[in-house]
Amino acid sequence: MQFTKSRLWILFLMLPFFSAAQSTYLQQNSKHLHFIDRLEIRTGTISDLNFTSTKPYDRRYAIEWLGAKTDSMLGVKPLFFSTDTALKLSKTDAYNLRSLYLNNQEWYKGDRSVFNNKKLFLKNFYKTPAGLIEKYGSDYFVVVNPMVSYRQSVELNNTSQNIFLNQRGLNVRAGIGNKIGISAMAMDVQERGPEFVQNWIDSLNAVPGANFYKSFKKTAVDYMDARGTITFKAAKYINFQLGYDRNFIGNGYRSLFLSDFGGNNVFVKINTRVWKFNYQNLFMELQTTGKSNNNNNLLTKKYAAMHHLSMNVMPWLNVGLFEGVIFGRKDHFEFGYMNPIIFYRSIEGNLGSTDNAMIGADFKANLLNHVQLYGQLLLDELNIKELRKDRSWWGNKTGTQLGIKYIDVANISNLDAQLEWNRVRPFTYSHFDSISNYTHYNEPLAHPLGANFNELIAILRYQPTGKLNLTGKIIYWKQGLDSASGRNSGSDIFRLNGDGRTSSYGYTMLNGVKSTGINALFLASYEVYENIFIDANLLLRRFTKGSAAAQNTAMFGLGVRMNLWFREYDY
């Protein structure tokens, strides 16, 4: 048996030596993600490469889809796709296109010298505006960049605390022998968020988007955000990625399947792209609880396996099927779940387990060159007999998402709107044991609110010039929370299904203590130089629970960041 396992590992390690040219992936919340989505909507079709229903996006596929072949595409000229459909770019989109090529030069097929700086920094640095150190060979490349961000904020209703964010790190991506793609980043973070973020950390013993952390200056936190992946192709259509990072499945602002809201995790991802199909297998190692300060206890592990099959059934329509399972064993993976094809419910039954399995479906439709409709349906548990008997049965565990994106609103170039509705019934994502709930490191794997909520999100983005981005966002939600007496309303996905559940019926949407929240955010970002932004942001939040006094937050901040995304408090 040991010999068989060793042979499997040797075969797995040898795969890169037989692989084809391999890419890395765009950074989480990259400034180019919305631009890629915009152009896909503008074409009125779904990319034949079928790479935009899961994140992060593959750099190579993004450039190939955009048809990066000649220098002429850097100007305001028609951009031709594989469909031979001409798409005329606005000046702002042309700016974004050039920026995308500049930041992914390893896949740009034209003359890279058009990106060169006229004057080099210390002769060897910043040969182009997008890289501190860049080297491109015939069969290799390496790009190294610093990551720096500092933001100072004032919480107007709580002036006794200094609200700040301080990030410093390094980012590297490389390709070796046209066979292996490597990306890595390490970032040290000190942060004190507004009071509601501090309350979140105290209640869950977790920092949103982070794993292990330490206390810093009493109410602030100190943590390391380190990520790394290695990618290679095992065959013409099969791509492997091993990493410590996060993934996202879906087309919306939120995801009911898998989001990147939580912290990093160890994963193996297999992507198979054939014709109009994209089939993703994702295997993850997760942590059952969180860890902070000087706690040296070894955390118990749990595991997840997920499938997502995405199909372009029409040139303008993409549909997907999802299944996932969260399970706990004594620090070992259940190899039955490694089968890339068979349904997890079948395996679960054969194993005699009660693991937390769920299925779902999603869709995306690009219409009229201006509109995209999208959505998700999640089924965690469903019993038709019980539903016919009483729709308030506690095990009616489902989630629904519907959304619309509308670009160039009122024919105003680069004014884009998005409206999204999310609804998750009570007890969805929770389970009979604490190990198999849909969480990692004391944070939800999907929606940050957990369950038993309705949420409406409205986003307006405007980019009047290439350098200036304006974003307004309003998030409104209602949720039923647990009562002081301990009755389980089904909103807390960390609680056991049977803990505090007084009956099997009577669990309608928003049952429990009624809570209402609204979070309004405004961000103005100006790109003073490639990937260097000055930000001004305003956050207004109001949260009420039952008859208690409302919790109000008003925060204004100014900051600068380099090669980093904007850190948001959108929950």
Range in 36-50, 258-272, 286-300 the model is least confident about: 286-300
pLDDT digits (tens, 9 = 90+) for 173-186: 999 987 899 999 99
pLDDT digits (tens, 9 = 90+) for 344-375: 555 444 444 467 889 999 999 999 999 999 99
Looking at residue 80, its pLDDT comes to 38
The tally of CA atoms less than 13 A away on the side-chain side of residue 503 is 7
Looking at residue 155, its pLDDT comes to 93
Residue 495: which pLDDT band, with cuts at 50, 70 and 90?
very high
For 93, the enclosing helix (H) or strand (E) is: helix 91-102
pLDDT for residue 394 is more than 70: yes
Range in 65-79, 129-143, 302-316 the model is least confident about: 65-79
Q: What are the tokens at 324?
A: 């996932």
Looking at residue 12, its pLDDT comes to 45
Looking at residue 1, its pLDDT comes to 38
Residue 472: which pLDDT band, with cuts at 50, 70 and 90?
very high
pLDDT for residue 530 is more than 70: yes
- Given a contact cutoff of 8 angstroms between Cβ atoms, the answer to whether 197 and 208 are in contact is yes
Calculate what percentage of the chain has a pLDDT beyond 90.
Answer: 64
Looking at residue 430, its pLDDT comes to 93
Hey, what amino acid is at 523? L
Looking at residue 332, its pLDDT comes to 62
Looking at residue 228, its pLDDT comes to 96
Looking at residue 568, its pLDDT comes to 95
pLDDT for residue 16 is more than 50: no
Looking at residue 292, its pLDDT comes to 65
Does residue 75 or residue 388 have the better pLDDT? 388
Cis peptide before 56 (omega within 30 of 0): yes
Q: Which superfamily, per CATH, for 2-562?
A: Capsule assembly protein Wzi (2.40.160.130)
- Given a contact cutoff of 8 angstroms between Cβ atoms, the answer to whether 79 and 89 are in contact is yes
Looking at residue 335, its pLDDT comes to 60
Among left, alpha and beta (phi > 0; psi -120 to 50; other), residue 251 is alpha
Looking at residue 347, its pLDDT comes to 46
Once rounded to an integer, what is the mean pLDDT over residues 440-447?
95
pLDDT digits (tens, 9 = 90+) for 396-409: 999 999 999 999 99
Looking at residue 236, its pLDDT comes to 79
pLDDT digits (tens, 9 = 90+) for 200-222: 999 999 999 999 999 998 899 99
Q: Crossing angle, helix 91-102 and helix 33-43, to 10 degrees?
A: 130
Q: Of 443, 406, 403, nearest to 423 (Cα)?
A: 403
The tally of CA atoms less than 13 A away on the side-chain side of residue 214 is 12
pLDDT for residue 82 is more than 50: no
Distance set, CA 160 to CA 156, 189, 399, 569 (Å) = 9, 22, 40, 20
Calculate what percentage of the chain has a pLDDT beyond 70.
Answer: 87
Looking at residue 460, its pLDDT comes to 98
Looking at residue 337, its pLDDT comes to 65
Calculate the average pLDDT of the chain: 87
How far is the first Cα of the chain from the last one, in angstroms, to the nearest whole number?
48
Does residue 527 or residue 434 have the better pLDDT? 527
pLDDT for residue 72 is more than 60: no
- Given a contact cutoff of 8 angstroms between Cβ atoms, the answer to whether 244 and 202 are in contact is no
- Given a contact cutoff of 8 angstroms between Cβ atoms, the answer to whether 455 and 400 are in contact is no
Looking at residue 283, its pLDDT comes to 93
Hey, what amino acid is at 282? L
The tally of CA atoms less than 13 A away on the side-chain side of residue 97 is 27
Q: Of 547, 487, 476, 543, nearest to 511 (Cα)?
A: 487
Query: Does pTM surpass 0.85?
Result: yes
Placement of tokens 């999907």 in the chain: 446
Provide φ and ψ at 66, rounded to 5°: -75, -5
Placement of tokens 């929770």 in the chain: 430
**Sign, CA torsion 59/65/70/75:** negative
Once rounded to an integer, what is the mean pLDDT over residues 461-487?
95
pLDDT digits (tens, 9 = 90+) for 103-151: 999 998 888 888 998 877 777 899 999 999 999 998 899 999 999 999 9
Measured between alpha carbons, how far is 202 from 206 in angstroms, rounded to an integer?
A: 7
Residue 300: which pLDDT band, with cuts at 50, 70 and 90?
confident
Range in 238-247, 322-331, 475-484, 559-568 the model is least confident about: 322-331
The gap from C-alpha 382 to its chain's centroid, in whole angstroms, comes to 27
Provide φ and ψ at 55, rounded to 5°: -125, 150
**Sign, CA torsion 105/106/111/117:** positive
Report the length, in residues, of the chain. 571
Looking at residue 264, its pLDDT comes to 96
